Amino acid sequence: MKVIPIPAQAGITGFESPAAEYTQLGMSLDDLLIEHPSSTFIGIAQGESMQDIGIFDGDMIIVDRHETARNGDVIVANFNGEFVCKILDKKRRVLLSSNQQYQPVTIHDYDSFSIEGVVTRSVRCHRQSPLLCGH
């Protein structure tokens, strides 16, 4: 895929023709979004718990298993048999939502918990596609 970088501002009333200063970058979306292809998977976000950091229901999340989760990272984890997307608070052993309507979840010693990967990107579909987005 060829990428044509066109700056577009929110609230614009029109924009210059893309052909005015035509530039083409030889880069694919894989190159732009995925750093470690062999250890990356794409998931679909469900629910509203991460919306305050910009991950909405139905968004694609790019999850990199190669990255080591750091404090404050958005992660996908298996928590007691359920896949969750949360903010990791390593110091307090807590999973946080970005939506204040959801309470923090403490990770106890008796819980089954494993980090599946770090969310490195999210992609929002503005036109629903049965192949790419979860709607």
Q: What is the dihedral of CA 1, 121, 82, 66, to 10 degrees?
A: 90
Cα 111 from Cα 39, distance rounded (Å)? 25
**What φ, ψ does residue 122 adopt, rounded to 5°?**
-135, 150
- Give this prediction's pTM: 0.78
In a domain? residue 18: no
In a domain? residue 1: no
Report strand pairing: 105-106 vs 94-96: antiparallel
pLDDT in tens, 45-79: 999 999 999 999 999 999 999 999 999 999 999 99
pLDDT in tens, 3-45: 455 554 555 555 555 555 556 667 788 888 999 999 999 999 9
Give me the active site residues, please: 49, 86
**What is the residue range of 88's domain?**
35-123
Number of domains in the chain: 1
